[in-house]
Structure 1
Amino acid sequence: MVDKALGTGGRKSDKDLKIRLKTARGRKTGSTKWLERQLNDPYVARARAEGYRSRAAFKIKEMDDKHKLFRKGMRIVDLGAAPGGWSQVAAKAIGSTDANPLIVGIDYLEMDPIPGVKLLMKDFTDDDAPAMLIEAMGGKKADLVMSDMAWPTTGHRPTDHMRIVQLIEVAAAFALDVLAPGGVFIAKVFQGGTEHELLHMLKRHFKSTHHAKPPSSRADSAEAYLIAKGFKGTNDTVPGEGEYDR
């Protein structure tokens, strides 16, 4: 049941107008708080109004506004694509169509079709997933590899940290294999969670690396995004080069 908190009189404040939920029988307090946050999240409402599948669409839009990630005709791989918000934004920005699909997305979760996007229902960490993606790309190089992947958290911080870094490393290794010179790699990280070895490797292979915290990323969330720009190519790396802007 949904309740609206009422003031004692006069004009109701924004706080008073927030939707609050009674804890239903069988629903944990944490689930109730998550539902309250979703119902009161302006980005959730905007995503619904503008036809995006998730609020995450605004994260990639904001990163594109600042870092100029998309251009017409580029080829993109979307790792952990479900529910499809990033691919939706990218397809429109680059002009990808069903007649000429320029985006390949992969996720182990089932997704409804997205115009201009080839979707693979597959766990990216499976051994045969990279080959399937390359085949779906028609053997062509990618200009952008973007990953919004994250393991479900266990609540044990050291374990979660290790799993997150491992996932980024797998995504980065794939990006190095498929990116064209000048390409870009984007991956979800968590603040304080990027290992020095990984960052050092990206600096060697890309002209610049940056951390981004888009405005639509919840303020109380530790998530951030690592953006590596200007892929040098597998035979054109200089150890120690790169710029890191936090």
Structure 2
Amino acid sequence: MTDIQNLKREAAAEALKFVEPGMVLGLGTGSTASAFIELLAERLKTEDLDLTCVATSEQTKRFAEERGIKIADFNTIADVDLTIDGADEIDPQLNLLKGGGGALLREKIVAFASDRVIIIADASKYVEQLGEFPLPVEIVDFGVAATLAMIEAAAEDAGCQGSIALRRTASGDTFRTDGGHLIADCAFGSIPDPETLADLLDIVPGVVEHGLFIGIADDIFLAAPDGVRHYSAATDDEDED
């Protein structure tokens, strides 16, 4: 196991402490969320927690079920007690850039339905300013050229510039989300005002969702070689475990 994998597992172990019996639990998407799912599966072998788990992607659903975790139909669930997820970038205001795996829409739906959202990551995901990782924007495939032009204009109004390209699979095919949409990856380099950019993208008609998660994280656990740092939106404090 690599050092980064170990750090992801350490962050996941901290989040696992917040899982209580009887919870409706949201399972995120990505490599760090997968580390959490593996630890959860190990715990469930020895504890009957009576959890109702929901997945933020088909990938997560398969991964969890392969490890013996039953996934409930989210269409029948209105409220989630706790969601554990990862992030591609985290800034000092605890805003997130997510969607590298293409699950941003479902991730955001589950997060907004959750009483508490805990984000886990290795410390490399903590940045002074969002944007070095390309911002994913999920769009419909009607009027793509017009939508991309509107995204570019919105970005310029928010002080962002950079290339915008439709995501492709490794084989060169057009990438499709679980909902059948496209992803426009926006390589801005930096996003000086995430709140403004999020607001402007929200009003572009062809945009289904974007990867800016503003004010959504309640707690963040960042694993570094010297320990796990805890950031809380409620207290704006940092603790080291």
Shorter chain as denominator, the TM-score bin is 0.3 to 0.5
Q: Which has the larger radius of gyration?
A: 1
TM-score by length of 1: 0.40
TM-score by length of 2: 0.41
Q: Which has the higher helix share?
A: 1
Higher relative contact order (CA 8 A, sep 6+): 2
